[in-house]
Structure 1
Amino acid sequence: MLENEIWGNSIQNWIISILIIVAAIVIVKLITLLSKKVLKPLTDRTKNQLDNIIFYSLEPPVKFAIILLGIWIAIHRLVYPDSFVKVVDNIYRILIVLDITWVFARLFSGLLQVYWGRRSNGQNNKMLPIIKRTILVVVWIIGLVMALSNVGVDISALLGTLGIGGIAFALAAQDTVKNIFGAFTLLTDKPFNIGDTIRFDSIEGTVVDIGIRSTRIMNDDKRIITIPNFKITDSAITNISSEPMRRVVLNLRLTYDTTAEKMNEALKILKALPQKVENVSSSPSNVVALFTEYSDSALGIKYIYYIEKQGDISGVTSNMNMEILDSFNKAGIEFVSPTRTIYLQKDESENETKDNDKASEAKVDSLK
């Protein structure tokens, strides 16, 4: 019975080939059990991560290679037409190259995941998916090209076709490509981080996310503005959060009846105010109070102070304005009010005309 033939091969040969495939599967199961019980705990005990990466890179491709080897042995011990054997051999050449490519892809992926993730901060981790995908695409393209070249495919013609298709694709997706490179620029140059307040063009707000295609900013109205990355990289960016202090300039206007003594008192009050208000720099070099001008209707004072980085700009500005108002009121120093005085002067000709009219009226009365 075992000598009976099916498709040119005896039943005994078919059974042996099937047993070879089953043996390959059993070997894979044993390797899986060995890896789980022995190799994986052994690599986890070491401080060096390189052995973990190598184990991660080799385990699945080695299992796949054993299955391929078992199937290849099982098929080649049977009798087939030459055309079928040639097709099987070509498929195996492609699969072997792709299996080796799989090893390199997992190796690069593991190295990036461990060493890049360990040495980068939270924001730089956003670059990891971009770089990882790029490297994996390159590795798999190289592996596929080598696999096709291994079975006699004309790579030059294929690359020419891919080049024309790549140009068409690049033209259609140029905005997307610009945004991806914009994200790469933002995450490497780091002109700002997530949580920073920035200003560019007419937009000002807090950065809440930096994505592959766009960056999201929350403005003062608590609205999210989504901006393509390439527009940000093409603009001049002011990172407000990176400034060590915020400079505030006030132009104060006092009335013209302010005496020199009162003016000196006003300047002394202004120079002493930073010591009274929290989060205002009290360093003498950061406080400027000068009597600067005689304008048409007021005496001008330029007052400059600096808000420290940790201070709330709006709140500190309000507190300073309140202290200036209160201190000046207590000292009897008055701000100029926006008033206008108009002086009217009558012409002499009008006065003479009125006198002549009165004389004429007197003559008429006397004739009567």
Structure 2
Amino acid sequence: MDLVFFNNTTLVWLTALGVAAAVMLALYVTKKVVVHHLRRLAERTETRLDDIAVETLDATRMFVIVVMGLFAGSKLLVLPEYVHQLVTRVAIVAGLIQTALWGNRALRAWLTEYYRNRSDEPGRATSAAAVSFIARMVLWIVILLMILDNLGVNITTLVASLGIGGVAVALAVQNILGDLFASLSIVLDKPFVIGDFVIVDKYLGTVEYVGLKTTRIRSLGGEELIFANGDLLKSRLQNMTRMQRRRIVFSISVTFDTPRDKLAAIPPMLTEIVKAQQTVTFDRAHFQGIGPASMNFEVVYWVESPDYNRFMDIQQDILLQIVDGLAARDIRLAYPTQVLHTPDLRGAAEAAAAAAQRNAAPADAHGGVLPARRA
């Protein structure tokens, strides 16, 4: 026990090893016990935070426990200053790596719970994946910089260099970065999600995929439309899936020769036909105006459903009943016509011929017309 190795007796070495083993065992048992009890508690609660905590603590690595035990044991030894600094730095690096592993596992567990709770909302899952990826990337970059700083590297110069290089790279790939941030805006603000039917300018279709750079839409014709995320945010976009009710405006026209009493009967007829429909809210029906070739009536109503097929069924039934109602009242629908009015020129032609004949006959002394002489 009195033998000296590296300025420490055998008893001191054995004591240091005992302390290291005890610390390792204590840390390992603490991890197992805490994780076990937290897991049992998580099974009895509805909140997901304890599940994430269990997953996070379960990510504690054995090599970190070993390093921490050896670090604790080394404090009992008489070692050169540089050895103490080395052991301390190794312990700090191990602690930082373990912190990064905890954060990475927590983000993954949160993403898993997010997917599970929103399996019917794929757009939200996409946003969670993007945010989780960026958060984990930032976490590892920060941990790496802290490790380099702990090892004595001058990270100020490194960060400054990265800043200058980052500006150059950002200028070179500004379109890609613009689409990346646009994708984050899409997944966080959620103007649409996967499965929504949207109209972008003159294009329309169902959203199939929201990526980091592009969004893909399946058009009604079957082809896939690919939009850059930046361009998509700059466009006027209509999300038809989020429509709660549909406003319908249509008009009918009847002929000019329709009597006034029949014109007055048309709005009540239209009102009755529309109100008789299911899931429809009537707004108005009026004699709108007099057109170039017709008397025009306008009808406005709401379909209390965004389903386009339902709207077409209702509109079809309304139009068929309007045709029957107009026919029963002997009212004709108008169509584009032009009437050309010309004056009657036959009377004028006969008068002109008589005048010409009078001018051609010889007159007597009293102004009368003399009979023509025979040869």
AA partner of residue 54 (structure 1) = A
AA partner of residue 295 (structure 1) = G
Compared CA separation, residues 128 and 193, structure 1 to 2 (3 A) = closer
273, 295, 302: which one aligns with 1:299: 295
Instruction: List aligned pairs for 1:153-172, cutoff 5 A.
Output: 153-172=153-172
Q: 1: distance between equivalents of 2:306 and 2:171?
A: 47
Partner residue, 1:63: 62
TM-score by length of 1: 0.71
Q: Over residues 179-224 of structure 1, what are the superposed CA-to-partner deviations in whole Å (9 max), with x where a residue is unaligned?
A: 2322322333333344443334223334344333333333333433
Compared CA separation, residues 99 and 309, structure 1 to 2 (3 A) = same
Q: Rg larger in 1 or in 2?
A: 2
Compared CA separation, residues 322 and 130, structure 1 to 2 (3 A) = same
Compared CA separation, residues 331 and 64, structure 1 to 2 (3 A) = farther
Q: 2: distance between equivalents of 1:340 and 1:354?
A: 36
Q: 1: distance between equivalents of 2:224 and 2:119?
A: 27
Q: 2: distance between equivalents of 1:350 and 1:239?
A: 73
Matching of residue 250 in structure 1 with residue 250 in structure 2: yes
Q: 1: distance between equivalents of 2:279 and 2:38?
A: 55
Instruction: List aligned pairs for 1:61-140, cutoff 5 A.
Output: 61-68=60-67, 94-111=93-110, 113-114=112-113, 118=117, 122=121, 123-140=123-140
Asked if the contact 1:93–1:151 (Cα under 8 Å) also holds between the matched residues in 2, the reply is: no
The DSSP-based 3-state class of the residue aligned with 2:109 is: helix
Q: CA-atom RMSD, angstroms? A: 4.5
The DSSP-based 3-state class of the residue aligned with 2:61 is: helix
TM-score by length of 2: 0.70
Q: Over residues 303-351 of structure 1, what are the superposed CA-to-partner deviations in whole Å (9 max), with x where a residue is unaligned?
A: 2222222543333333322222222122211012323233344384797
Compared CA separation, residues 350 and 224, structure 1 to 2 (3 A) = farther
AA partner of residue 290 (structure 1) = H
- Structure 1: gaps spanning 5 or more residues: 1-15, 74-81, 361-365
Partner residue, 1:328: 326
The more displaced of 162-171 and 82-91 is: 82-91
The DSSP-based 3-state class of the residue aligned with 1:181 is: helix
Instruction: List aligned pairs for 1:19-34, cutoff 5 A.
Output: none
Compared CA separation, residues 172 and 120, structure 1 to 2 (3 A) = farther
Compared CA separation, residues 95 and 231, structure 1 to 2 (3 A) = same
Asked if the contact 1:94–1:148 (Cα under 8 Å) also holds between the matched residues in 2, the reply is: no
Indicate the percent of aligned positions where both proteins have the same amino acid: 23
The DSSP-based 3-state class of the residue aligned with 2:296 is: strand
Compared CA separation, residues 231 and 265, structure 1 to 2 (3 A) = same
User: Shift in Å at residue 42 of structure 1?
Assistant: 4.0
Partner residue, 2:335: 337
AA partner of residue 184 (structure 1) = L
Q: Over residues 19-66 of structure 1, what are the superposed CA-to-partner deviations in whole Å (9 max), with x where a residue is unaligned?
A: x9xx99x98xx97x968x966864554426555433422334331214
278, 290, 305: which one aligns with 1:309: 305
